[in-house]
Amino acid sequence: MLNTSNPNNYEYTTKHLELHILGGIKTNKLETLRITLSVQKPKSHNVLRHSVDLYNDNQVEKLVRKIAERLELGTSVARRTLQDLTKELENYRFVLLEQQATPTYKELTATELRAAEAFLKKKDLLNRTNELIGKSGVIGEVDNRLLMYLIFTSRKTNNPLHCISLGSSGVGKTHLQSKVAELIPEEDKVEITVLSANAFYYFNRTELQHKLILIEDLDGAESVLYPLRELQSKKRITKTVVHKDTKGTTKTIHLTVEGPVSVAGCTTQESIYEDNSNRSFLLYIDESHEQDSRIMQYQRLASAGKLDKQAQMDALQLLQNVQRCLKTVTVINPYAEYLELPLSVFKPRRTNSHYLQFIEAITFYKQYQREQKVNEDTGEVYIETTFEDIQEANELIIDVLLRKSDTINGATRNHLENLKAYLKENNQATFTNAEIRRNLRVKETTLRRYNKQLLEEGYIRRIKKDKVKSYCFEVIDLEEYETLKAQIDEALNTCLHRIEVATSPVTRHQQNGEPKKKKAS
């Protein structure tokens, strides 16, 4: 019998011979069965070591004669032993291939299944989920963590969402992404640090379908950004390569990898990855002093051993089980025609698509609270978006739309808002570079870059002091960001009002041509 308990040293023992297969066997080339053998008689020190392809008859016959000569054994015994060994190795290789082809999925127990389904049926599901994410160890980032979790959940839909975490170095972009990704089952995600140029094309055709692809730093994946964008947009990528078959004939083959996938990455350089940013939700990390305090307090508690690790593990396990309970189902938004984005949003076509997909992602997550309906024409099962789903989506997405409507990048916007707060606090209208460097602790080169963009976009202006020849700066409009936010908020509320009017009983009667019935006194 073949003993494979040691993956680097298989044992095969018969009455006459003891064989060891050193280094195991390879599963990538089924046309050969090359192994390194160690052959000896039982309880003998005379050992023959030899590399052979068991599918090559000439090599096998030479080995048979060498075994018979070296170990003083009949050739028929040696030949029969090698033939039996070949059959055993073939069968074991097929077992290995089946194990590799079949991903390992965790089977939920009845108790775990009931707990996950009961959680998905609870009211106020998004707030409960956000609280549970916090209990699992994600500190602060209340909106970002829920947004990211819902984006990761959308991998199971036919139109997944994508996100890029942005922020300066060392503020916790990768930490936030990795902590939220821990809430996704291992079998549903692919974590990548560095990729070669052709890496994506050599996955199996359906290996990435409905998977979450996590890129630690986009700087390490520059070579695959183009196929990654195509996989996001077209949901499939194809590469044509030249290949030689077993007869040596050159043929052209197509390597195709199917999507859809959800992609998440981190970077400090927003402008460099603009094409990828256009396809993604941009999540700006909270760099405030309050968030610094929350994180440092968490670190101190962890160091003091005062964190409830078991509660964190329970929250993490429950959210993973919730993900396993979600089934693929079509989502239809009957209110989609009433939803319009504010005119201030850049690239409105793609942003509008993201907005609608995000609403569908919320509905998909609430599938256990929705009645399943059947399309009479196609027989397709679907669930419908509710007015509440749109309200919750608007509350979560307003900051994303605000950033999409801004004419300056995120780092410059954060600096401008800090600058405004400083000016209001000190009750002054103008500032100098030296003053800002000293009080806001900004490097000179960084401040010069911020000022250049703010001057070009018309957010600040240079003015000359009366008494001296030096220059200082002035913020043109201290309330411009609040005004922009109010415009977006008003546009979203207008959409909600339009839906309320369209679905009110009075409007339905008017559309049906029926007079509204008066109540009896």
Q: What is the dihedral of CA 53, 58, 60, 64, to 10 degrees?
A: -160
Q: Quickly state the pLDDT bin for 236 (edges 50, 70, 90).
A: confident
Q: Which pLDDT value is given to residue 270? A: 67
The fold adopted by the segment(s) 110-328 is Rossmann fold (3.40.50)
Residue written as tokens 């018969």?
A: 14
Sign of the CA dihedral running 49, 50, 55, 60: negative
- d(CA 192, CA 204) in angstroms, rounded, equals 16
Q: Quickly state the pLDDT bin for 521 (edges 50, 70, 90).
A: very low
- d(CA 345, CA 51) in angstroms, rounded, equals 67
Residue written as tokens 């027989």?
A: 379
- d(CA 165, CA 218) in angstroms, rounded, equals 10
Structure tokens at 62: 């030479």
Residue written as tokens 């000016």?
A: 423
Q: Which of 21-30, 79-88, 179-188, 486-495 has the lowest mean pLDDT?
A: 21-30
Structure tokens at 205: 């055709």
CATH class belonging to 410-478: mainly alpha
pLDDT in tens, 311-362: 999 999 999 999 999 998 999 999 988 888 877 777 788 888 888 999 999 9
Q: How far is CA 488 from the centre of its chain?
A: 28
Q: Helix/strand/coil (H, E, C) string of 212-277?
A: EEEECCHHHHHHHHHHHHHHHHCCEEEEEEEEECCCCCEEEEEEEEECCEEEEEEECCCCCCHHHH
Q: Which pLDDT value is given to residue 102? A: 56
**How many Cα atoms are found within 13 Å in the side-chain-facing hemisphere of 449?**
11
Sign of the CA dihedral running 123, 127, 129, 132: negative
Q: Which pLDDT value is given to residue 245? A: 67
Q: Which pLDDT value is given to residue 359? A: 92
Q: What pTM value is reported for the model? A: 0.76
Comparing C-alpha atoms, which of 57, 44, 43, 49 is closest to residue 20? 49
Q: Which of 79-88, 99-108, 285-294, 410-419 has the lowest mean pLDDT?
A: 99-108
Cα–Cα distances in angstroms (integers) from residue 420 to residues 402, 459, 485, in the given order: 18, 11, 16
Report cis status (omega within 30 of 0) of the bond before 103: no
**How many Cα atoms are found within 13 Å in the side-chain-facing hemisphere of 308?**
9
- Would you call 192 helix, strand, or coil by DSSP? strand
- d(CA 132, CA 147) in angstroms, rounded, equals 14
Q: Give the pairing of strands 211-215 and 189-192.
A: parallel
Q: Which pLDDT value is given to residue 254? A: 83
- Would you call 74 helix, strand, or coil by DSSP? coil
